[in-house]
Amino acid sequence: MENKSINILNILIPIILLIGLMINSIIDYPEIFDKAKWTVITVFVVVIGYIVFWIFLKPDRSSNNGGFIIGFLFIINISIEEFINWQTKNGSLVSTLIMMFMIFISFSIISAIKTFKTENIFTGLKSSLISALLGTIIALCFGFLINYVFSERMILTLKGYPGYNDFSNPKVFIFYNAFDNASNHLIFAPAVSIIMGLFGGLATLFILRLIKKTDTYKNTKQ
């Protein structure tokens, strides 16, 4: 019972924080809802759906740890994008691609480790998906939080983005951008985790099969 409570809290605490930050941004800047009503609604609905998925999937400790790793990688990626003054756009692009590659590979590794332990690819996919759910929520919490703490920096970073001039208040735009990014990450991150988890799981099953064949061959030789 205690483990179940801890598992639910792992996703519930960051989700409560995220929902609080999102609601506060809408209260402070109602124009966000006027400009992107369906995006905002979609984000709230999907976030609540994450809780339902989390309870249904019943994550174990290793899957939770995988989620914290993914969240940490997302935070590093966001920090590099927003707080490093790159001399060229290529530098920013390369760093983003490297970090996204690391996140994608992490999904495969998480799935591979679980598949290797259980010899069941479905548990590997489940572990990869769980890590995506928790990691994405952590990333979104960080994204909304830095909009409050480093709003001037975010305005400077996003000044040249498409749609920036459509808003009279730059702070409205940075939160509008946060909701837009959230809607993409909430949907695509789990999808990517399943695809990459499938690659990792299949590779592991192939390795396990080779190991079994090698052991069988050695036994027949003895």
Give the tens place of pLDDT for each residue, 160-186: 788 777 788 889 999 999 999 999 999
- pTM for the whole thing? 0.90
Residue scoring higher pLDDT (218 or 98): 98
Provide the percentage of residues in the chain whose pLDDT is more than 90: 62
Q: How many angstroms separate the CA atoms of 125 and 48, rounded?
A: 21
Q: Does residue 204 surpass a pLDDT of 90?
A: yes
Q: Does residue 2 surpass a pLDDT of 70?
A: no
Measure the N-to-C terminal CA separation of the chain; round to a whole number of Å.
49
Structure tokens at 163: 């749609």
3-state SS assignment for residue 159 = coil
Structure confidence at residue 219 (pLDDT): 64
pLDDT tens readout for residues 183-200: 999 999 999 999 999 999
